[in-house]
Structure 1
Amino acid sequence: MLDIKDLWVRYNSIGGVTEAVKGVSLCVEKGSFTGLVGESGSGKSTMMMALLGLLPPRTEVRGKILFNGTDILGMSDSAMRDIRWKEIALVPQGAQNSFTPVMKIKSHIMEVLRVHLGMSLDDAETETARLLGEVGLDPGIKERYPHELSGGQKQRASIALALACSPSLLLADEPTTALDVIVQAEILELLSNLRRTKGLSIILVTHDLPLAATVCDRLVVMKDGSIAEIGTPSEIVNEPKHPHTKDLVREMFRQRDKK
């Protein structure tokens, strides 16, 4: 489904040049749940923006990103707009980033349905209610404003928005940030269920190794713009090979022992 080949991303600014991604190659299979694990600055979010064609101006990109056999890296903005939402969708970090405060929840989802799928107002409103129900929310929430929802409700609504055009690949960028432990578990369970019932491929972007290890079938550990190690959760946790992975695993067990 997704085949990233020798991807390099360089940010050019007045302050200098930053190599954010350095020669990354990665395959993501259909229906898989991949955890992209790394600290801030490791390059994981830059990779996601490259997938969506949303890197800032003056960014140099080399390599290939093959999505269902087509290299999307050199696509025009108009071609990428067809890919975003319909094929690849993003659940951004911080659910509040999905919503405009002065618009009702339904307005956000209906706009996507009308612009990208050409739905009528009535059909879009009906589909909005269905999508909210699919992520475990009362459809009546569509009439509320973002500030009227709890953190967990807002995150579920953000996932519903990402699912509006039935994408085959979902990018979830730190989807449990600022949520309590119980709500975190609920969101991860929701993502796992959506993967199973809809055949979604999911890339979970996170700094939290223990969290990723609980739901993902494969972990990709990143360090300083490169892939340090790839393996199953069992391989990464029980037999880490790269020094950075070993540090992450040691910290995971240290935090666990403190509880």
Structure 2
Amino acid sequence: MIDIINLSVTYEGKNKVLAIKNVSLTLHKGTITGLVGESGSGKSSLLMAIPGLLSPQVTVEGTIIYDNINLLTLNESMLNSIRWKEIALVPRGAMNSFTPVLTIGEHIEEVLEVHLGLSGSVAKKRCASLLEEAELEVFLAKRYPHELSGGQKQRAAIAIALACDPAFLLADEPTTALDVITQKEIISMLENLVKRRNMGMLFVTHDLPLATHICDEIAVMKSGEIVEEGSPSKIVNAPRHSHTIQLVQALKKIEGDLS
């Protein structure tokens, strides 16, 4: 379990910006929690605060408990021992973050060597297994990023995040810029991974209909605050906060009854 308690995030500078305001949220293993909100609502700031990946110029206050440890009290070395192995990230735009001169296999094997000490045939075997789990052909390990489609690169990014068998996966808009069919395939794969591995996942998106299909719980963000939490059915059929009500009504007009 990851227990986020009264988290606040402030971007320092000439004009300070309070991006997250006393947010509390609990993530459970085997559960997909959706974090839904418009651009600038603070979704990505919350996600990046969990593994301590915000800039040093950002002030983070509150408590993030994982395995009885407050992650906000750890130094960089201690955080590195938790990243990848316990809490892994699929960052926004992950499919565009590959090093162009490295093959997909070399990307995965680098993570395996740095964080697990695996190399040679053992790393290659593990790499093949991860590609298969991400529903990619094993021969793609020898391909360079530019030789893969957008959907294939997104799957490869997920395979990299899974390399160290994390307990939690933080996915920041993992279906952005993908066509509808590929989106559905990625969503189905993520659902299966969570069930098979009993992982917890924080799924960040601006797409409420998408969240209602994949998530077990949904938290709606507005201006740095979580304004409503509940099951997809509760959020869609019995929204309480005015922002959630407006969001659901607007989407129903466009896409019909979400339920």
Same fold per TM (> 0.5)? Answer: yes
Deviation, structure 1 residue 80: 0.5
Q: Specify the alignment match of 2:41 in structure 1.
A: 42
Deviation, structure 1 residue 3: 0.5
Q: How does 1:37-186 map to 2 (within 5 A)?
A: 37-186=36-185
- Amino acid across the alignment from 1:5: I
Query: Alignment identity in percent?
Result: 54
Aligned residues: 257
Q: Deviations over 1:143-186 (max 9, x none)?
A: 00111111111111111000000000001110100111111000
Q: Could you state the TM-score of these two structures normalised by the residue count of structure 1?
A: 0.97
Deviation, structure 1 residue 195: 0.6
Q: State whether residues 33 and 217 of structure 1, in contact with CA within 8 Å, keep that contact through their aligned partners in structure 2.
A: yes
Cα distance between partner residues in 2 of 1:253 and 1:131: 38
Cα distance between partner residues in 2 of 1:238 and 1:254: 14
Cα distance between partner residues in 1 of 2:174 and 2:29: 21
Cα distance between partner residues in 1 of 2:30 and 2:68: 16
Cα distance between partner residues in 2 of 1:254 and 1:102: 47
Q: State whether residues 109 and 119 of structure 2, in contact with CA within 8 Å, keep that contact through their aligned partners in structure 1.
A: no
Q: Deviations over 1:179-232 (max 9, x none)?
A: 111110000000000011110111100000000000101000000000010010
Q: State whether residues 104 and 146 of structure 1, in contact with CA within 8 Å, keep that contact through their aligned partners in structure 2.
A: yes
Q: Specify the alignment match of 1:218 in structure 2.
A: 217
Q: Specify the alignment match of 1:190 in structure 2.
A: 189
- CA RMSD in angstroms comes to 1.2
Q: Specify the alignment match of 2:2 in structure 1.
A: 2
Cα distance between partner residues in 2 of 1:31 and 1:25: 19
Cα distance between partner residues in 2 of 1:164 and 1:255: 39
Q: Specify the alignment match of 2:237 in structure 1.
A: 238
- Amino acid across the alignment from 1:237: V
Deviation, structure 1 residue 58: 2.0
Q: State whether residues 109 and 127 of structure 2, in contact with CA within 8 Å, keep that contact through their aligned partners in structure 1.
A: yes
Point out where structure 2 has 5 or more consecutive residues left out of the alignment.
Answer: none
Q: Deviations over 1:70-111 (max 9, x none)?
A: 101121000001111000001111233441112110111000
